[in-house]
C-alpha cells in the first residue's frame, strides 16, 4: 500500500483550494504540486477500488524517469513495486498527453523479471 502517513514535505504541497482540493484527512489521496529541479510536477494520488494510483504531469512535456522515481519515493515504500501500463489499443485512454501513471494492486503480488534479465 501507499505510505500510511503523508510526509510533511508532501503535505505542504497539497492543493487545498479549488479543483482537486483535499485536506490532510484524505491521507495520501489528493492533488499536489511538487517542485523537482526547478520543474513543477502536478500529481494526483488515490487508493480506491483496491488500487493505488499516482499520476504525474508537467505542462510542456512528459515526466522523465528521474522525476517519476522522485514521486514514487514520496508516495510508496522503498520495497514496493509499481507499474506503468501500456494497455491494449481497445482500452487506451489519453486525457493528457504529458501525463504518466503508476499503479499498484493492493491485494495482489506483482511479478518482476529476474534481475539478470534486466541488466548487470
pLDDT at 8 (0 to 100): 85
Q: How far is CA 27 from the centre of its chain?
A: 14
Question: Which residues partner with 102 through β-bridges?
Answer: 54
pLDDT at 53 (0 to 100): 97
Domain boundaries along the sequence of the chain: 8-118
**Which CATH architecture describes the domain 8-118?**
3-Layer(aba) Sandwich (3.40)
pLDDT at 119 (0 to 100): 84
Reading the chain (120 residues) residue by residue, the pLDDT tens digits are: 677 777 888 899 999 999 889 999 999 999 999 999 999 999 999 999 999 999 999 999 999 999 999 999 999 999 999 999 988 999 989 899 999 999 999 999 999 999 899 888
Counting Cβ atoms within 10 Å, is residue 27 exposed (0-12), middle (13-18) or buried (19+)?
Answer: middle
pLDDT at 1 (0 to 100): 65
Q: Taking the C-alpha atoms of 104, 92, 69 and 40 in order, what is their torsion angle to the nearest 10 degrees? A: -120
Amino acid at each position: 500500500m501507499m505510505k500510511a502517513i503523508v510526509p510533511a514535505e508532501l503535505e505542504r504541497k497539497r492543493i487545498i483550494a479549488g479543483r482537486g482540493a483535499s485536506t490532510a484527512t484524505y491521507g495520501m489521496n489528493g492533488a499536489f504540486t511538487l517542485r523537482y529541479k526547478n520543474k513543477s510536477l502536478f500529481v494526483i494520488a488515490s487508493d480506491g477500488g483496491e488500487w493505488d494510483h499516482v499520476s504525474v504531469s508537467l505542462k510542456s512535456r512528459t515526466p522523465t524517469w528521474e522525476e517519476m522515481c522522485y514521486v514514487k519515493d514520496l508516495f510508496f515504500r522503498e520495497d514496493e513495486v509499481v507499474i506503468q501500463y501500456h494497455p491494449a489499443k481497445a482500452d487506451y485512454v489519453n486525457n493528457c498527453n504529458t501525463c504518466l501513471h503508476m499503479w499498484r494492486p493492493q491485494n495482489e503480488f506483482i511479478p518482476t523479471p529476474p534481475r539478470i534479465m534486466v541488466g548487470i
